[in-house]
Amino acid sequence: MNNNLKTLAIVGALSSATTLGAYKLFIEKSSSDAVFSDTPSAFTRMVSNSGAAAGSLTEFTFAAEKATPAVVHIKTKMTRQVNRQMVDPFEDFFGFGDLGGGRRRQPEAQEASGSGVIISADGYIVTNNHVVQDADEVTVILGDKRELKAKVVSTDPSTDLAVIQVKATNLPFLTFGDSDALRVGEWVLAVGNPFNLESTVTAGIVSAKGRQNIIDRDKEDVNPLESFIQTDAAVNPGNSGGALVNLKGELIGINTAIYSRTGQFAGYSFAVPVSIVKKVSADLIKYGNVQRGYLGVSIQDVSAKVAEEKGLKVSEGVLVGGFANNSSAQSAGLKVNDVIVKVDGIETKSNSKLMELVGRKRPGETVVVTVNRDGATKDFNVVLKNKDGNTNIVKGESAGAAIASEYLGAKITNLSEAEKAKLKLSGGVKLTDVNPEGRLGYQGVESGLIISKIDDKAVKDAKEAADLLQNRKGRVKIEGVDMDGTRYYYVIVL
């Protein structure tokens, strides 16, 4: 990853909401992307007969007044395990420590805040994954100052997006715009709660499209799908998960990151385009995870140098360098050194654009891939496959109900598929509701620890772990990992 980009500061969220003005809205049923059949949402096309006009080049009030009611403030609470120097040197000797040589892991309560965008009248909200990641408690503050507890529906680290939900009705929401139609130089507004300043609106222009290398690629659990909108609208900590809107007041992106050496705005901000937001949020709500279709090709941007080296007849596009096993593109007839120039009629001048267009599709869907082969263009109908080389739709697994373990003095739940993928585990259980007076609580362990092994035996799920610990007496060796995945350690339970 570019060293300069490693200084990117992922920023927090923003919010505000009042009630929508007296707009009379007509709802047109959308395409198959719709996830709500009856509830008004961003997945339906809203047409106003109020007579109000979208903002001009110098007038932003229309977009600001339309957007701010649908942007909320998100506050989270979480518990993280931190290293602390032990006070009593005999604790390790008696097995109360983490066998770490004078230091022990202790829980520390932390709070954070961010923003979110309401996308349905019944309380579905899009935000960033990093806003709600590892949160024990999520609270949403609406524009009318109501504070509502929210549940995390599902998350997608690869796009840094998440969907949460509150129990409410008749909420104001934003409609999806068209990020493909955005032009460099076009005015946009960023709406959020930087530094906990409510309902803050900033203006800027689209500086670039299709930016990559924004999400940290050094994290093992993340395989980024990136095609960011770059703007110069001021975005600061607290803006993450907030709205980027056009002058019609339509959502065209979710503010996600800034480029900064100080953690504060330095002139560049980045938003996930709504073309990705729409697909990811629909999948998270429908299936619990994102359904990604793959061409099964290795690719690189075509440059003048690459075109010369490969003897290509085209100077722009995406070069096919090879194929994966069960490649859908190869099955359709693509060959090495083909240059992909369009997908479904949309130009693909870069890897990021190609990945974005394919990333909007699900396994089993067909895309028309246009390639330049030896100077001639050819169209191929490619049926996309998933990572396993088939066209199945795979639903995400929820953590399920918690099981109480009297021995541990805690409840345990199954890991979700997203948590397994993040931690690269095939099984394991997560601790919840740890009793401070129980065996684990006595040693400073709190909610959030992942147990992967009991007495060196890998545990698949909560039921197996509970069975292993039932009626146990004496010492039990437990191997676990924090949710941040940074440290494995052993706990000896007496």
pLDDT one-digit tens code per residue, 371-402:
999 999 999 999 999 887 888 877 664 445 56
Q: Which of 38, 70, 210 is nearest to 144 (CA)?
A: 70
Q: Report the share of the chain in percent with pLDDT over 70.
A: 77
Domain for residue 92, yes or no?
no
Q: What percentage of the chain carries pLDDT values higher than 90?
A: 45
Q: Please check whether residue 67 is in contact with residue 245, taking contact to mean a CB–CB distance below 8 angstroms.
A: yes
In this predicted structure, the answer to whether residue 8 has a pLDDT above a threshold of 50 is: no
Mean pLDDT of 172-198: 92
Tell how strand 9-10 and strand 366-373 pair up: unpaired
Domain identity same for 452 and 322: no
The C-alpha atoms of residue 386 and residue 294 are separated, in whole angstroms, by 6
* Average pLDDT score over residue span 25-53: 55
Helix (H, G, I), strand (E, B) or coil at 467: helix
In degrees, rounded to 5, the angle at the alpha carbon of residue 289 between the alpha carbons of residues 416 and 425 is 35
282 and 199 in a common domain: yes
What are 209-267's pLDDT values in tens digits? Answer: 988 776 654 444 455 677 899 999 999 889 999 999 999 999 999 999 887 777 778 78
- Is the predicted pLDDT of residue 335 greater than 90, yes or no? yes
Domain end (from 383, 416, 446): 383
pLDDT number for residue 91: 45
Total of domains in the chain: 3
Q: Are residues 306 and 256 in the same domain?
A: no
Q: Are residues 147 and 33 in the same domain?
A: yes
- Do 21 and 65 meet the contact criterion of CB atoms below 8 Å apart? yes
Catalytic residue among 122, 160, 283, 482: 160
Distance between CA atoms of residues 420 and 429, nearest Å: 10
Predicted confidence at residue 256, as pLDDT, reads: 92
28 against 404, higher pLDDT: 404
Question: Average pLDDT, stretch 317-341?
Answer: 95
My answer on whether 214 and 329 are in the same domain is no
Single out the catalytic residue among 227, 240, 269, 281: 240
Burial class (CB in 10 A: 0-12, 13-18, 19+), 145: exposed
Beta-carbon count within 10 A of 117 CB: 31
Closest to 67 (Cα-Cα) out of 232, 194, 254: 254
Specify the pLDDT at position 28.
Answer: 39
* DSSP category for residue 396: P
Task: Provide mean pLDDT across the span 472-491.
Answer: 70
Q: How many CA atoms lie within 13 A of 256 on its CB side?
A: 31
pLDDT of residue 472: 76
pLDDT, one tens digit per residue, over 61-95 is 999 999 999 999 999 998 765 655 544 444 444 44
Q: Is there a single domain that holds both residue 425 and residue 461?
A: yes
Please indicate, yes or no, whether residues 39 and 160 belong to a single structural domain of this protein.
Answer: yes
| Tokens (6 digits) for 320 | 């096919």
What is the per-residue pLDDT for 25? 32
Within-domain flag for 120: yes
Determine whether 240 is an active site residue. Answer: yes
Average pLDDT over residues 334-355: 94
Mean pLDDT, rounded, for 286-314: 91
Q: Kindly tell me the burial class for residue 216, based on how many C-beta atoms sit within 10 Å of its own C-beta (0-12, 13-18, 19 or more).
A: middle
Q: Are residues 230 and 305 in the same domain?
A: no
Residues 308 and 282 in one domain: no
pLDDT at 21 over 60: no
| pTM score | 0.70
* Position with higher pLDDT, 268 vs 400: 268
Q: Classify strands 410-414 and 429-432 as parallel, antiparallel or unpaired.
A: antiparallel
Query: What confidence tens digit (pLDDT) does each residue in 123-133 have?
Result: 999 999 999 98
Helix crossing, 274-287 with 351-359: angle to 10°? Answer: 30
Same domain, 226 and 346: no
Same domain, 273 and 301: no
Q: Which of 130, 154, 350, 452 is catalytic?
A: 130
Please say which residue of 350, 383, 416 terminates a domain.
383
What CATH number should be reported for the domain holding residue 448?
2.30.42.10
User: Which domain covers residue 32, as residue numbers?
Assistant: 3-75+113-287
Structure tokens at 282: 């629909």
CA quadruple 120, 172, 246, 260: dihedral sign: negative
pLDDT band for position 488 (50/70/90)?
A: low
Kindly state whether residues 19 and 161 are assigned to the same domain. yes
pLDDT exceeds 80 at position 492: no
